[in-house]
Amino acid sequence: MAASSSSASSLQWGKIGVSSQLEVREREAWGRGVYAATALSTGLEVMRAEPLVHVLSNDVRGQLCDFCLRESQYCSKTCQRGDWRFHKGECGGIARAQPHSPTPLARLVVRCLLVDAEVR
């Protein structure tokens, strides 16, 4: 994965922001990886990325927005539309599982499969 410079202090790999204090190296024993180029201070943010998928645990579903993780089930029409790409694929399965609720792990696996299908 080639890194392109987005500023003097950071690199940008797709949607992943990476500190300039990190570098990609090839190590014979472990393969390609990200390593600290300098000593890192405590609390320094070295990488930020949006998750590929996420799910809420069953005990907080309905209390937080399934899309942006804010205050309510869907806090806005924008969030509801944004989550639709995932929810449309899982909704039927959730309905068929009633009165039982699928585990968060099962919902996460389904969302990963849906993203994989989109990429293909």
Q: In the prediction, which pLDDT does 45 show?
A: 81
d(CA 120, CA 115): 9
The pLDDT-based confidence of 16 (bands split at 50, 70, 90) is low
Please choose, from the candidates 38, 99, 91, the residue with its C-alpha nearest in 3D space to the C-alpha of residue 111.
91
52-96 pLDDT, tens digit per residue, is: 888 888 888 888 888 888 877 788 889 888 888 888 878 887 788
pTM of the model: 0.56
Q: In the prediction, which pLDDT does 18 show?
A: 64
pLDDT > 70 fraction of the chain, expressed in percent and rounded: 83
Strand 10-13 relative to strand 31-36: parallel, antiparallel, unpaired?
A: unpaired
**Rg (Cα) of the chain, in Å, rounded?**
19
